A and B are shown apart, each in its own frame.
Chain A
Amino acid sequence: MHTHEFDIVVVGAGGAGLMAALYASQNLPGGKVAVISKLYPTRSHTGTAQGGIGAALGNLEEDHWEWHAFDTVKGGDYLSDQNAVRVLAQEAISAVIELEHLGLPFDRNPDGTISQRRFGGHTNNKTRQPVRRACHAADRTGHMILQTLYQQCIKNQITFFDEYHVMDQLLSDDGRTAGVVAIQIGTGELHVFRSKAVIWATGGWGRVWSVTSNAHSLTGDGPAILWRRGLPLEDMEFFQFHPTGLYGLGVLITEGVRGEGGVLLNGRGERFMERYAPTIKDLASRDVISRAIYLELKAGRGIGGKPYVHLDVTPKTVNRYLAEAGDSRRIDAATIHQKLPDILDFCKTYAGVDPVEQPIPVAPTAHYAMGGIPTNVDAEVLAAADGTIVPGLYAAGEVACVSVHGANRLGTNSLTDLIVFGRIAGKKAAEYARSADLPPLPPDPSGPVQAELDRLRTCKGGTRPGEIRRRMQETMMDHVGVFRTAEGIQAALATLRDLKAAFRDDLTLDDRGYRFNTDVLEAWELGALLDVAEVTAASALARQESRGAHSREDFPKRDDERFLVHTFATLVDGEIQLNHSRPVDLSLGYQPQERVY
């Protein structure tokens, strides 16, 4: 076992982790900051984000942070904490400008300013029409953010532990952060990282579901680790299904396609979103569109009876609808090649479809975790629903629930969240580390991780992890997906319990070695997924209403009387306890209204 000492350890090297690391090191002169990541930083999932980062720069038309804030709250179906939304929308502007100053190659307007495009749910609050707020670099905005931040980390000589997989959170007896335990993937050795502060930035957990836009590595390690340490998880029932995943694969087709004029068509060639969201149609928020697609499919209006619809961005179709709407814009093949090059490539490679000539087959895909590790606006992790914090513990990015996204995230708001709250987490952790001391380590700090790894390395049961994973993903897709019922969720919970038992008592693995043992690592990740799936299902069962991405067929209406509150789930003596006492912050004054688009 190796032991290291740092002031601040950042777990995760996506947009949130790298931004936090830059700010932590800048604000702690002479201090020691390390970033630990199970992937090489540039492999992080932030690099796959396509469409854009939202900020009310107003480069092309009138826009205000207040409009961005309102759209975010409405998109979140009024579950967003408005104090946090204020920070998001206000600081988005300086954050995007800062990225530009760090070298990010945004696309440009003719006057040299950052280019912006339309995106779902972002509106001019006066006219209710879509507004151009998404700042972009072609359809690889996340790639550019990840690269730019990593480049700056190199410039600033940040210390990286690449391909180290964190498996435990250390806490001192008095409940303060004491560090983390990680396995060095290349050697299988354990490392204890002592630190005053830890910033969690491990991203999402789309791999809980069978069809997802998320990377294989997005397995909910962060929430599972803190959960096992008795810390709460917030609003886990809210997981977004993006309406346009490439049919069969789940690979994301950005909303930017619809931002450029693309429309959704059912098997009869109808632009069905005209019925579900008469004002902004195909640019309604994601939960609304995913449900519309499911309802179309259920009514037998898929393409040729199959479970998908068409996303049509061929200039012919787009220009026809633009003309009908009295819009003077027109697109041609060159527009698509220039603005959506990666999308063209995905469609050609994986579906054999050329979007310039043919419509793209799409269906909803599990995409984004609104819930996660509860934090306040200073990115401090909450120990309980009453707002008490864990000293020295921070979280930012998709893994955190601050909560700006409420019950449903608007497109482009995750990248904004990473930069805004990553920055805050870095600053606040540095502030804390300046005055805190290094807490003593608990006895045998790596003992629990060692025991679990030994178990996995030697297990000799009858069930392969791949089998457990597949069954978990299918049951979650069937029962805890776009539409849910009490009956279905209960069935999923029963299956999950069986699968957890098999994972514990009947697992078998092939690789007994130490070096790059991905057999053991994947099994460990499966353990995390199972925990996260169970909390998700239990939280979903208790929320007897429909709000944002959580849609209960047996409780089809939003219920602000009972459920204008956050869900806090905690593991107590092996049982999941749910608490609904934390109210939603309404300090911007946006009172819940009926949500129509």
Chain B
Amino acid sequence: MKAHFRIRRFNPETNAKPYWQDFTLDNVAPADRVLELLHRIKWEQDGTLAFRRSCAHGVCGSDAMRINGRNMLACKVLVSSLAAEGAESVTIQVEPILGLPVIKDLIVDMEPFFAHYRAVMPYFVNNDPPPADGRERRQSPEERAIFDDSTKCILCAACTTSCPSFWANGSYVGPAAIVQAHRFIFDSRDQAAEQRLDILAAPDGVWRCRTIFNCTPACPREIEVTRAIGEVKLAIQMGAERMRARKMTRGGTE
């Protein structure tokens, strides 16, 4: 089939403002990934088109973009999911994710996003000496299960840049940073949960979340982002210890 692309272009070196550019590709198959088609445009038609990518199978988080109005990883969207069944052609609109400054074409400045990430102590803290026998700290499969979902995050920013609260106020830490904090708050081996909860209880923390739910469908890793945020809110209210215990009794997928 034919694919008609509308791509949001902007190169501050040469353009005064962003504009839309159209490209057409022939011989497009339903199983083609949008990333492959962007490569075809770049490699066959216009080498100036700029976008990030690396792994090409949805695990490195490089290529979150707004495709037909929704945040997705270009390498994880097949043409078939954008075209009507049996269609002769498909129209695909691609723009950069919203809420972060555009550097060029589909590439945004990720620094504000990573600054929020770094702000939530996204690292393991345990100041006790490790077990005397030189072996691993023990953790039961049940304790491990309650934070499994948030360990999957690849920091692609699809959630944060689909969030109206973040668009309205870029100082909100955003869903991705909260997911990262969740990963440690609910880890039985970690000792800094209360500090993280203090950070997230501040005005630019979790309470800016209005439960609009854009983040969860945006997540290419199928993390239940809104649920994770809700659990962090509850942990602030109940204390991390009690919230952890509650999640344990209700199972990993409360």
Contact = CB atoms under 8 A, between A and B. Distances in A.
A47 B13 CA distance: 34
Interface in A97-143: 97, 100-103, 105-114, 137-138, 140, 143
A342 B47 contact: no
A485 B50 CA distance: 40
A515 B12 contact: yes
Interface string B1-14: 00000000001111
B165 interface: no
Contacts of B12: 515
A44 B59 CA distance: 10
Contacts of A154: 118, 122-123
B57 A103 contact: no
A465 B184 CA distance: 45
Interface string B118-131: 10001111100010
Contacts of B122: 151, 154
Interface in B159-178: none
Contacts of B31: 350, 352
A42 B54 contact: no
Nearest to B57: A251
B11 A43 contact: no
Interface string B175-189: 000000001100101
A148 B190 CA distance: 13
A48 B55 CA distance: 8
A151 B141 CA distance: 23
A227 B7 CA distance: 40
Contacts, number: 159
Contacts of A140: 59, 151-152
B107 interface: yes
Interface string A372-414: 0000000000000000000000000000000000000000000
A100 B137 contact: yes
| Candidate in A39, A155, A251, A518 with the most chain B CB atoms within 10 angstroms | A518
A585 interface: no
A337 B233 CA distance: 29
Contact of B44 (A47, A94, A464): A464
B48 interface: yes
Contacts of A511: 47-48, 50
A103 B189 contact: yes
A513 interface: yes
A251 B58 CA distance: 10
A509 to B, nearest CB: 6
Nearest to A523: B47
A514 interface: yes
B154 A143 contact: yes
B226 interface: no
A40 B122 CA distance: 16
A197 interface: no
Contacts of B187: 103, 105
B136 to A, nearest CB: 4
Given A97-B135, A216-B56, A251-B57, A515 B62 contact: no
Contacts of A137: 151
Nearest to B141: A108
B104 A103 contact: no
Contact of A97 (B11, B61, B62, B134): B134
Contacts of A509: 47
B78 interface: yes
Contact of A515 (B47, B52, B103, B183): B103
Nearest to A115: B141
A63 interface: no
B43 interface: yes
B151 A510 contact: no
B234 interface: no
B123 A155 contact: yes
Contact of A513 (B48, B107, B144, B155): B48
Given A43-B52, A110-B141, 6 more contacts: A43-B54, A108-B138, A144-B151, A349-B78, A350-B33, A519-B48
18 contacts: A47-B154, A94-B134, A97-B134, A103-B126, A105-B147, A107-B141, A113-B136, A143-B59, A147-B151, A151-B122, A215-B55, A215-B60, A251-B57, A342-B59, A349-B58, A350-B78, A513-B11, A513-B13
**What are the 7 A-B residue pairs with the smallest beta carbon separation, nearest first?**
A103-B124, A112-B138, A466-B43, A510-B47, A151-B123, A519-B47, A155-B123
